[in-house]
Amino acid sequence: MNATVCRTSRTTICLAVLALAHGIAQAQQAEAPAAPAAAADSGPMQQVAVTGTRIRAAALTATSPVSQYSAADIAIGRAITVEDFSVKVPQLAGGVNGTSAGSDGFGAQTLDLRNLGQSRTLVLINGTRAVPFGFRNAVDVNFIPAPLLKRVDVLTGGAAAVYGADAIAGVVNFIINDRFDGLQASTNYRTGADGGAQKGVNVTGGTALGEKGHIVGYLELTRRDGLMAGDRDFARVKPTLRPGAGGNFVDVASGRAFSYTDGGQLSSTKQTTDYTPDYTLIQPLKRFNASSFFTYELSEGVEAYGRAMFSRTNTTGAPTTGQAPPVLSGVFAINQNNPYIPAAVRNQLTFVNGVARVQVDRSLGELGVITIDNKRDTYQLQAGLRGPLTSHINWDVYVQSGRSSESLIVNGDASKAGAAALVNATNIFGPGADVSSIARPFDYGDRVRKQVVTAATLSGDSSDVFKLPAGPLGFAVGAEARRETGEFSYSPSLAQSFNQATVAGPAAPPSFRAKEIYAEVLVPVLRNLPLIHNLSVEGAVRRSFYSKSLGGDNAYTTDKLGASWAVDEQLRLRATKQSVIREPNMGEYANPVFSLPFNALVTTARLQPRYQGDPCALGTGDKAQCARFGAPAAGSYNSLDPALLTGGYYYGGNPAIRAEKGDTRTLGLVLTPAFAKGLSITVDYYDIKLKDAVGQVQPVDALTSCYITDPRADNPLCQAVTRDPATGRIKDAYPVDRNLAEIRQSGFDVDASYRQNVPFGLPGKKLNWGYQAAIVKSYTIQKNPVLDPIDCKGTYGFRCSSDAVSLVAPAYRHRATLAWDFDKVTAQLGWKRVGKVKDSTVGSKESIAAQDYFELNFAFRPAIAGLTVNVGIDNLFDKQPPTPTNASIFNTYPDTYNVLGRAIGFSVNYKL
């Protein structure tokens, strides 16, 4: 790092670190012989890769808080997909997962650190970016082969200066076992009651390429069966009722009304049908993964390396508009010569000139519920060269290209064009009509996301030139160029369907370029002094230039200052201060504005939290404000009746949107006391402040602000929801993305482990205790400068979601484990706790009690060399999910609480 780099930054940190390094170097030249050299001083540098820094040096001590999960942690839990493992990490919220009905993730599994949003968590593979999918910057981690993981590092303090944009909440780095040697085959199986079974087989092979390299190959087939809502009692607590499958009819001329029950009986009572049992609770998944990793020494000092990863994932779930069958609704002309009219019905109809006009309100249940099939192909290719420049400095250059493509087909919907003819082509009076003439699948469209990254880094330490009294100075400098493009094409045929909203892709394929330079320096300050076993400071700076396809070049500087102070071999303190950014994703800046029917906010469970009714009609609104905006009187209409909500819900991108910016701070300690050998305790405090956060003002927030909490004429949020000038009823909503919010969160991460001999003469060898916890001290979201900050600590519900995906934000989560090692067996008891949360809805006093989940696992190592068998029970006591009044889909919050129930599983692993 030099003065030129410092001039491009906004930081005095850069200059201060340089000055400190220079001053210590000058002092070292004038002082007595230096302190004993570090371990790296004797011979060529041994590279050590640490998540949170690009500096590779021996005995490197990280300043950023990182939690690590080993291959053994993943294996004993029989993880088939990354989702199986990630749900156990306390710092990770729900994100999109296999239970996300109606999400535009369409079967993906995404990661969300600290409930700050899936687009604010950066996912890495072996320290480099994974390719995202769809509109967002989120990664479908189904792409990553869980059985091939060597470890997973979770950095929860922000890392923009080191890794670039999107690392606001932190980084999840998946470290692949690319040095595997031998041949290994594994099979996995897990099942709950009545569905949701997962099974998989995988084969891994690795071998040396003479004396110059190594290659690893991996193949995997995974399948997860679907689980229907009807298989779980909690999902049916509050039925989702639709117009009856037998039909509700009104003869327009006479006003005579009649209906048919689901059993085909004529009735004078209006009928409804509950289709919830047929909805998808857990989406079925089929996945094929193939990966290869290699290294090869091309010549002395030059090594080639790379990876090729491919994944094909097929899922079937719910489209964004929900799974309810189409509804044949409207006034239709029924011909008198229609042979399908039952005799009992013919007497109810009034024929004028051979035609009866009939109001029909009938679900087309014969089509089944609506589903969407998604085939997602993801690949990433990487090729690089690296080698030593000197015995203590290494260079590394690579290029990687990735692509995620999706093809989506909607089944169970029908063509509206044939509705008028249908009423005379089949018997619509009663269930079981032949609706094949209008049934058809719809091509939803295709989404393609591409990413190309080129990077070069020089990393090492200063041993070849100078050494400070406490050791050599570590450094990394480099440059990175990244281009991302999106191609989003949606079928115009969607407009011909009953239920699918018209979806429009961007007018032109969006893209952006990022060109970045970065530098890090690690300065050893003091060493081997009283109360200072080792003291070092770390500085980093990154200058980023972004250019979007819609114009608006932007330049940003992010920086980091960190310190690590080892008081002695038992206690180390660490601290960081960093600035972070997130450029808007393609959906936020490039999407056109398109719409859903406003009544979808009532009829679609996933959308219901966004609208809770008209405060003026409910009688909760300020009377003067309601009169000012021409609202109808309290009780004059049902503001939750879909038939009365005739307007639109308009949403989309905003080309004027800006980057999110923030600051993160961490302060922690690592304790390994001599009096308790085998004990390690890590506690880190974090504080995150995010400004200009991208968000939307949903109708529920706009109406609450306008008519309840801030009822004044010039409240700008009143314009986010309009009224019909003729009736005064709610009409349209405009939740377009804007830089609205400020998000703040602080808390503690705790990680403790203790390994001891089995006490009291009990059998076995070792006991291993583990405890990881995420404790939130404060969490506020200010969704708009007009709105007061919301206290979101320990809450659930849409109001406190930062991205409308993860909906439960407990103030406390933990995972505790006790493993008992024997010669041939390891037994492990796991305890996951999700703390108590309260309803974030205004005026609600409801809460969800803390939920505890236990698992019991066994790893058997029989006498057969290379064979390991893992068996276990998840959700040991069959804990059922809570069903609060203000629930998300299926009467609970599947993003957080277990919906599968007790599950039994095993894995068999054999290595030659």
pLDDT tens-digit map of 185-228 = 999 999 998 888 999 999 999 999 999 999 999 999 999 999 99
3-state secondary structure of 73: helix
Find out whether 542 and 524 touch, Cβ atoms under 8 Å: no
Query: Confidence class of residue 102 from pLDDT cuts 50, 70 and 90?
Result: low
Sorted by sequence, the CB contacts under 8 Å of residue 644 that are 6+ apart come out as 637, 638, 729
Alpha carbon distance 895, 433 (integer Å): 37
Q: Are strands 170-176 and 121-125 parallel, antiparallel or unpaired?
A: parallel
- Going by the DSSP 8-state scheme, the letter that residue 436 receives in this structure is T
Alpha carbon distance 746, 743 (integer Å): 10
Residues in the chain: 912
Alpha carbon distance 781, 789 (integer Å): 5
Query: Confidence class of residue 2 from pLDDT cuts 50, 70 and 90?
Result: very low
Find out whether 377 and 287 touch, Cβ atoms under 8 Å: no
Give me the mean pLDDT over the 823-848 stretch. 95
Q: What is the pLDDT of residues 437-449, one digit of tens each?
A: 999 999 999 999 9
Q: What is the pLDDT of residues 776-813, one digit of tens each?
A: 999 999 877 777 889 999 999 988 888 778 899 999 99
Tell me the domain boundaries of the chain. 3-26+34-228+283-319+373-425+428-589+657-696+735-911
Residue-level pLDDT at 182: 95
Residue-level pLDDT at 33: 34
Give me the mean pLDDT over the 456-478 stretch. 94
Give me the mean pLDDT over the 19-29 stretch. 35
Burial (CB count <10 Å: 0-12, 13-18, 19+), residue 126: middle
Write down the residue that tokens 């109809």 correspond to: 349
Query: Confidence class of residue 28 from pLDDT cuts 50, 70 and 90?
Result: very low
Q: What share of the chain is helix, strand, coil (3-state, %, to 5)?
A: 15, 45, 40
Alpha carbon distance 82, 103 (integer Å): 19
Burial (CB count <10 Å: 0-12, 13-18, 19+), residue 137: buried
Q: Is the pLDDT of residue 40 over 80?
A: no
Query: Confidence class of residue 834 from pLDDT cuts 50, 70 and 90?
Result: very high
Residue-level pLDDT at 27: 35
CA–CA–CA angle 755, 757, 763 (5° rounding)? 125
Q: Give strand ranges (E) for 696-765.
A: 721-723, 730-733, 738-757
Q: Give strand ranges (E) for 58-161.
A: 66-70, 121-125, 128-129, 149-155
Q: Which secondary-structure segment (H or E) carries 874?
A: strand 867-874
Residue-level pLDDT at 31: 35
Query: Minimal CA–CA distance to 79: which of 91, 66, 88, 90?
Result: 88
Token pair of 696 as six digits: 């939307």
Other Cβ atoms closer than 10 A to 107 = 27
Q: 759 to each of 32, 40, 140, 676, 826, how far by Cα in Å?
A: 51, 39, 45, 14, 16
Find out whether 367 and 435 touch, Cβ atoms under 8 Å: yes
Q: What is the pLDDT of residues 246-276, one digit of tens each?
A: 999 999 999 999 999 999 999 999 999 999 9
Query: Confidence class of residue 50 from pLDDT cuts 50, 70 and 90?
Result: confident
Find out whether 142 and 81 touch, Cβ atoms under 8 Å: yes
Q: Which of 5-14, 489-498, 672-681 has the lowest mean pLDDT?
A: 5-14
Alpha carbon distance 758, 764 (integer Å): 6
Alpha carbon distance 94, 830 (integer Å): 19
Which residue type, as a one-letter code, is found at position 97?
N
Residue-level pLDDT at 600: 87
Token pair of 76 as six digits: 């004993």
Query: Minimal CA–CA distance to 360: which of 246, 443, 507?
Result: 246
3-state secondary structure of 157: coil
Residue-level pLDDT at 634: 94
Q: 458 has which bridge partners? A: 395, 477
Alpha carbon distance 912, 910 (integer Å): 7
Alpha carbon distance 471, 463 (integer Å): 8
Other Cβ atoms closer than 10 A to 696 = 24
- Would you list the DSSP string of 243-263? E-SS-EEEETTT--EEEE-TT
Q: 492 to each of 85, 489, 594, how far by Cα in Å?
A: 40, 9, 13
Find out whether 626 and 707 touch, Cβ atoms under 8 Å: yes
Residue-level pLDDT at 503: 74
Q: Which secondary-structure segment (H or E) carries 86?
A: helix 82-86
3-state secondary structure of 507: coil
Alpha carbon distance 351, 336 (integer Å): 7
Find out whether 744 and 690 touch, Cβ atoms under 8 Å: yes
Give me the mean pLDDT over the 413-417 stretch. 93
Alpha carbon distance 906, 396 (integer Å): 41
- Going by the DSSP 8-state scheme, the letter that residue 837 receives in this structure is E
Residue-level pLDDT at 292: 97
Alpha carbon distance 288, 308 (integer Å): 14
Q: What is the pLDDT of residues 655-667, one digit of tens each?
A: 888 889 999 999 9
Which residue type, as a one-letter code, is found at position 368?
G
Other Cβ atoms closer than 10 A to 775 = 18
First CA to last CA distance, the chain: 48
Give me the mean pLDDT over the 315-330 stretch. 91
Give me the mean pLDDT over the 619-641 stretch. 95
Q: Is the pLDDT of residue 583 over 90?
A: no
Alpha carbon distance 344, 267 (integer Å): 11
Alpha carbon distance 238, 279 (integer Å): 14
Q: Is the pLDDT of residue 7 over 70?
A: no
CA–CA–CA angle 12, 13, 15 (5° rounding)? 65
Q: What is the pLDDT of residues 56-71, one digit of tens each?
A: 754 456 678 888 888 8
Please give the mean pLDDT across all residues of the chain: 89
pTM, full prediction: 0.87
Find out whether 830 and 88 touch, Cβ atoms under 8 Å: yes
- Would you list the DSSP string of 548-606? ETTS--EEEEEEEEEEEEESSSSEEEEEEEEEEEE---HHHHHPPPEEEETTHHHHSGG
Other Cβ atoms closer than 10 A to 407 = 16
- Going by the DSSP 8-state scheme, the letter that residue 759 receives in this structure is P
Give me the mean pLDDT over the 902-907 stretch. 96
Query: Confidence class of residue 157 from pLDDT cuts 50, 70 and 90?
Result: confident
Q: What is the pLDDT of residues 391-410, one digit of tens each?
A: 999 999 999 999 999 999 99
Token pair of 730 as six digits: 């709610």
| Selection from 18-32, 594-608, 652-666 with the highest mean pLDDT | 652-666
Superfamily of the domain at 3-26+34-228+283-319+373-425+428-589+657-696+735-911? TonB-dependent receptor, beta-barrel domain (2.40.170.20)
Query: Minimal CA–CA distance to 379: which of 167, 133, 81, 135?
Result: 133
Alpha carbon distance 144, 163 (integer Å): 20
Query: Confidence class of residue 94 from pLDDT cuts 50, 70 and 90?
Result: confident
Residue-level pLDDT at 322: 87
Other Cβ atoms closer than 10 A to 853 = 20
Residue-level pLDDT at 45: 39
Q: Is the pLDDT of residue 740 over 80?
A: no
Alpha carbon distance 284, 307 (integer Å): 29
3-state secondary structure of 295: strand
**Plot region of 798 (φ>0 → left; ψ -120 to 50 → alpha; else → beta):** alpha
Give me the mean pLDDT over the 814-832 stretch. 96
- Would you list the DSSP string of 163-184? H-TT-SSEEEEEEE-TT--EEE
Token pair of 809 as six digits: 């934000």
